[in-house]
A = this chain, B = another copy of it.
Amino acid sequence: MTQGLTERLKKIAERSERKLPALTDIRRGLHRHPEAGWTEFRTTGVVVNRLRELGYRVETGSACVHPDAVRGWPEDAVVRESRAQAGDLARDIEVPGAVGILERGDGPTVALRFDMDATEVSESDDPAHPPVAQGFASGRPAVMHACGHDAHVTIGLGAAELLAEDPDWRGRVKLLFQPAEEGGRGAHPMVEAGVVDDADYFACLHMGGPTLPLGEVALEATHFLSSVKMEARFRGVASHAGGAPERGRNALLAACQATLALHSLPRNGQGATFVNVGVLNAGTGTNVVPSDALMKYEVRGGTDEICELMEEGARRCLSGAATLQGVEVETEITGRTIGAKSDNEMKDHLAWIAGSSPVDFRVHDARPLGGGEDATYFMRRVQERGGKSLYFLLGGSTPTGHHTSTFDVDERALAHGAMLMAGMVLRLTGSGA
């Protein structure tokens, strides 16, 4: 059967290459309309419509995203605005996120995950930046697909089509289109909704960094950082800054001291730590002692234990800063990521696929992810129930690094990704050795 699969991989690779213009169009449409976490109404609409065209059964809403587990939901006005901009595409979308299911007789269930959200980065307007040069740069201020999720969604739809066209596999594929990966918010409520409880295998990919060029694959991403995302609201008392500053309680100063304290949290001799105050909004008028401040921040650790130590330290920072200025503070956890480990068996399958495909992939064993990922919630749930999980990296992003304003992907990677994902399904459903 192995030879059979090799043959079929070749065909899948050819078909995938032929689809590249169409995939490119999809990706550019998504890139032009980036949607930040929990506002992926348009993206979900595009995905749902396409999956239905291809014959997939589609689940959305609470079947797919458990409402009680949702964290970091944006303000109503933001959600309304996104929904409005999505227009008809969002009509039946209660909450971003969708699962497409295709069954082909008896066989194992393979779940593949693709994340959909954009990042809060303003896209470069440099005429040399390809999305600008070719007219598909972000049409929204301060939101951009700077982490390649537009490519991930496109790869998911490409794999969906390849699998729908291939009659020869047996089993079930579940394509998970996840909202709100940034901030570690979307995976957990999908896991809580049970979408991978019936999965025998789970796989996902991420566009690799600048050191993984087009045509290369890392079989495993490692060093998933544990992370916690938080918001703090300081509440003080406003007063006239020139007439009676002594009657004020300065929330902005509290936030500044909390920020410096957070960034001064000690490094750790046992492993990596990271900390970031990503957003600070405080005050109203120049001559008013600021009574309110909102901070969004995160801490990360190389292990769950280190992350917990950082989280504990962060709590002290917030509480101490509030005391310092005599203001109140409330903190809320808006997202969390945990660690996880890919299964060697899955890596072996991917190595075989990558090695057997007509694309002459250069294969690396492992590369550090350099960040947090909530796909780890899917990975752990599947592994806890006896299944196998994989998180791999695909070469082809441009050299400027994720989350920068000039991030871009080499679109030829879209065909690579769709082929690898479809190939994994064929392999895992036992369609060949």
Q: How far is the CA of A225 from the CA of B286 in the complex (A)?
A: 15
Q: Is residue A351 within 8 Å, beta carbon to beta carbon, of the partner chain? A: no
A325 to chain B, nearest CB (A): 7
- CB atoms of B279 and A243 under 8 A apart: no
Q: How far is the CA of A402 from the CA of B293 in the complex (A)?
A: 21
Q: How far is the CA of A300 from the CA of B267 in the complex (A)?
A: 11
| Centre residue among A121, A263, A326 by max chain B CB count within 10 A | A263
A299 to chain B, nearest CB (A): 10
Interface residue range, chain A: 35 or more
Chain B neighbourhood of A277, CB < 8 A = 252-253, 283, 290
Q: How far is the CA of A250 from the CA of B183 in the complex (A)?
A: 19
Chain B neighbourhood of A300, CB < 8 A = 242
- A274 and B242 in contact (CB under 8 A), knowing A316-B325, A326-B316, A403-B287? yes
Which residue of B247, B252, B268, B403 is within 8 Å of A280 (Cβ)? B252
Chain A window 299-340, contacts with chain B (Cβ cutoff 8 Å), 1 for yes, 0 for no:
010000010010001001101111111100000001100000
Q: Is residue A94 within 8 Å, beta carbon to beta carbon, of the partner chain? A: no
Within 8 A of B (CB), among A393-426: 401-405
| Centre residue among A256, A285, A288 by max chain B CB count within 10 A | A285
Q: Is residue A289 within 8 Å, beta carbon to beta carbon, of the partner chain? A: yes
Q: How far is the CA of A23 from the CA of B275 in the complex (A)?
A: 47
Within 8 A of B (CB), among A281-297: 281-290, 293, 296-297
Q: Is residue A182 within 8 Å, beta carbon to beta carbon, of the partner chain? A: yes
- CB atoms of A286 and B282 under 8 A apart: no
Oligomeric state, in copies? 4
- A267 and B288 in contact (CB under 8 A), knowing A261-B257, A280-B280, A320-B322? no
Chain B neighbourhood of A154, CB < 8 A = none
Q: How far is the CA of A252 from the CA of B263 in the complex (A)?
A: 11
Chain B neighbourhood of A253, CB < 8 A = 259-261, 263-264, 277
Chain A window 357-394, contacts with chain B (Cβ cutoff 8 Å), 1 for yes, 0 for no:
00000000000011110000000000000000000000
Nearest B residue to A244 by beta-carbon distance? B269
List 23 contacting pairs A-B, 8 Å CB cutoff, sorted by A: A121-B285, A122-B284, A241-B275, A242-B269, A247-B269, A252-B278, A253-B263, A256-B260, A257-B320, A263-B264, A264-B264, A266-B289, A267-B273, A278-B286, A279-B286, A280-B280, A280-B290, A280-B293, A285-B296, A286-B298, A287-B403, A316-B325, A319-B324
Question: Chain A: residues with CB nearer than 8 A to chain B?
Answer: 36, 119-122, 142, 182-183, 209, 225, 227, 229, 238-248, 250, 252-253, 255-257, 259-261, 263-264, 266-270, 272-290, 293, 296-298, 300, 306, 309, 313, 316-317, 319-326, 334-335, 369-372, 401-405
Listed from nearest, the 10 A-B pairs whose CB atoms lie closest are A320-B324, A120-B285, A320-B323, A241-B276, A263-B264, A243-B370, A120-B284, A240-B403, A256-B256, A279-B283
